[in-house]
Amino acid sequence: MDPDPKSETSSASALTGAALIADHVRRLPAKPGVYRMVDEHGGVLYVGKAKSLKVRVNNYTRVDKQPNRIARMIIATRSMEFIVTDTETEALLLEANLIKRLKPRYNILLRDDKSFPYIVLRRDHEAPQVLKHRGARSLKGDYYGPFASASAVNRTLDTLQKAFLLRTCSDPVYEGRTRPCMLHQIRRCAAPCTGEILPEDYADLVAQAKAFLSGKSNELGEALNAQMQKAAAIQDYERAAEVRDRIRALAAVSAHQGVNPANTGDADVVALHMDGGASCVRVFFYRAGQNWGDRAFFPRHDKSASAGEVLGAFLAQFYENKRPPKTLVISHDIAEEELLCEALSVRAGRHVQIIRPRRGEKLDLLRQGLNNARDALGRRLAESSSRATQLAGLAKVFDLDQPPERIEVYDNSHISGTYAVGAMIVSGPEGLEKNQYRIFNIKSEELTPGDDFAMMREVLTRRFSRLLKEKEKGTAMVPDLVLVDGGAGQLKEAVQVMADLGISQTQVKVAGIAKGVERDAGREQFFIPGQKPFRLEHRDPVLYYLQRLRDEAHRYAIGAHRRRRAKGARENPLDGVPGVGPLRKKALLARFGSAKAVRSASINDLSAADGVSKRMAKTIYDYFHEDM
């Protein structure tokens, strides 16, 4: 949705707070739209939608009639931005999008909104591949999901391999096979790549897999049982055993999933539990009568927010980038339910209903969800209490005005300068925020291999240069504390980067953490600009907390380095040559022995390889000699 054609952005620098809002109201239309309230630093305070912008925004001009939280927001407002929409439904969809993108301070925010995995059965190949998929639906195929986690998908994929023997290999691997792979030997693949199964028989396996994923397990079970009996009757015991194993694999899935509602169909059960000013939303995914897992979410909101407000905001943001199922089973009544139903129906391209059951199977599912939400929130509150104490101690150690909301920790990893990466992890009051982690592939060609100081300089320069750009757009997430893994040298680089970018120590506190003598845990030294290095008491909880942060950054950096190194080891220089597929690559390697020898070969020598024409030989030669 492009806001440009209908957007209005204005700011009266001489006016602030309620006076500024009243000045805008005079010019606002009585039309649907979205408004943003912005503070003096350009940060977005609040995003709201309205059936009538004029009426809704006018409510903010009466500060004395607002709750304290809203009154503080109004006083902090220095400018406002407006987008007029055609309908209130369009405004609701745009509001959810902006809230997720801008993360305003005064809105109810859904956090940890990672993408969900799906299973795809492709339709664009003679032997359809089954695979796990995240992100945009770029592949042509049938999508099944969402699943709550990668482990839930992997279990189902394992079942599909056991029961239906579908291939999981990529097309290049499939095309390059000359004999069945190990998966065929252990009865996990029918090996269509080498003709071990007829195309029509493989198509039948694909149809059965689709039936299973579509919830037709009972009908499929009956059909498979009939096949087994028929095979046994004609003494085809090998075939009967294959079908029996398939039936057992399907039965194992139902046993593992536990609750499999008979009459719920495609539905998400969304249960909210609130306690101590915090809340947990537990979402259970049921598709085609099967339980595909659940996930807990902990929205950020003011303690005064009601259950209906939290749940309504959660639903709008949760389905902003997901296709909702036919039915949403919710635990609390929400405001503007009809409007939300209409918006979700637009998102899904079909009717979506929201229900709050009073009896029957759906009520049982909801009770289960509420119990799980209560337990998850209890654990979260216990962890948060301990973490709050640690953050308060951290603020004291590093002389912060208040406990940090966002801590960024940086580390590098490499082997003699090769495959060098920098890593950033993020932590705060809610613990590790893994969706905020970032990897930086070290790019500078001027670095001396193994120069840790220069690597840290590059990583921090890239991170905080981008932060300054995000700050101009009002989307920046500024850390309260930056920890670099290392001593005085790394700290000096970090401070210099901040100074070069115009970021002062009052804006972002920077410190270093280095392993002590003999790199023993517990003897770490800490470095703060302008102070002597110091250590914390061996049993200090803050020390344990900082060690965990440092170790997490090290783990993340090492993992990224290993992945990059493994990818480099797998890469073949021939992979990038246009027109060279698995068969030509095999022929070239068979003739020349190595990719290095192919690179050095003449056009005449290249054309002597099987399947390589003069024209293709010139293409290969030019690819390796384009800069000569």
221-224 — which CB contacts under 8 Å span 24+ positions?
A: 221/247, 221/250, 221/251, 224/250
Q: Are 121 and 130 in contact (CB under 8 A)?
A: yes
Residue among 553, 541, 275, 272 nearest 407 (CA): 553
Q: Encode pLDDT of 561-590 as tens digits.
A: 888 877 765 667 777 787 888 888 888 888
Task: Tell the burial category of 614 from Cβ atoms under 10 Å away from its Cβ (0-12, 13-18, 19+).
Answer: exposed
Q: Which has more pLDDT, 237 or 282?
A: 282
Q: Are 190 and 184 in contact (CB under 8 A)?
A: yes
pLDDT at 402 over 80: yes
Q: What is the mean pLDDT of residues 116-142?
A: 88
Instruction: Give the model's pLDDT for residue 6.
Output: 42
Instruction: Give the model's pLDDT for residue 331.
Output: 95
Residue among 55, 54, 34, 37 nearest 46 (CA): 37
pLDDT at 25 over 80: yes
Count other C-beta atoms under 10 Å from residue 51's C-beta: 16
User: In this predicted structure, which of 21-35, 319-333, 473-487, 540-554 has the lowest mean pLDDT?
Assistant: 473-487
Q: Encode pLDDT of 130-156 as tens digits.
A: 999 887 788 898 988 888 888 888 888
For 106-238, list the strands marked E by DSSP: 118-122, 130-133, 141-144
Q: What is the mean pLDDT of residues 116-134?
A: 89
Tokens of 527: 């470095």
To the nearest whole number, what is the mean pLDDT of the chain?
Answer: 85
State the Cα–Cα distance between residues 313 and 332, nearest whole angstrom.
12
Tokens of 279: 């809340």
Q: Which domains does the chain have, with CATH numbers?
A: 4-102 (3.40.1440.10), 118-257 (no CATH), 267-377 (3.30.420.340), 407-568 (3.30.420.340), 573-625 (1.10.150.20)
Q: What is the mean pLDDT of residues 265-269?
A: 86
pLDDT at 369 over 90: yes
User: In this predicted structure, which of 70-74, 113-117, 375-379, 400-404 has the lowest mean pLDDT?
Assistant: 113-117
Phi and psi of 283, rounded to 5°?
Answer: -110, 125
- pLDDT confidence bin for 9, thresholds 50/70/90: very low
